[in-house]
Structure 1
Amino acid sequence: MSAATIRVGDLVHVQGQERAVRDMKALPGRRKLLIFDGGATYLLSPASCLPAYRSQPCP
């Protein structure tokens, strides 16, 4: 996923760990600051892609 497609609740792989995106903040230059459960953060630039998946709600 990229900065343009990431959403709160997505699970992303960062530095060898799977983390849930708890919150995000838009930053200048189309960057996003991802805030994970536990308070860890990651700066995602528009050119970056992260391995991730989105859980689907049950019908």
Structure 2
Amino acid sequence: MVREGPAEPAPPKQEPYPAEKARGGVIVLNTPARRWIFLAGLAGAVVLVLVLGFLR
């Protein structure tokens, strides 16, 4: 591979992103429908593991 132009300089060094700002994920289950969908997904995963375990 041939370089078409001069090499680019390295990007300036940055401070690491603080962990306090990075932790922002929240599961918001503020409606009954969202709660039921979440719980159904968890129950479905458990049932799937049990069924695949029995079929094995």
Which TM-score band applies after superposition, normalised by the shorter structure?
under 0.3
The higher-RCO structure (CA 8 Å, 6+ apart) is: 1
Structure whose CA Rg is larger: 2
| TM-score for both structures, normalised by structure 1 | 0.16
| TM-score for both structures, normalised by structure 2 | 0.17
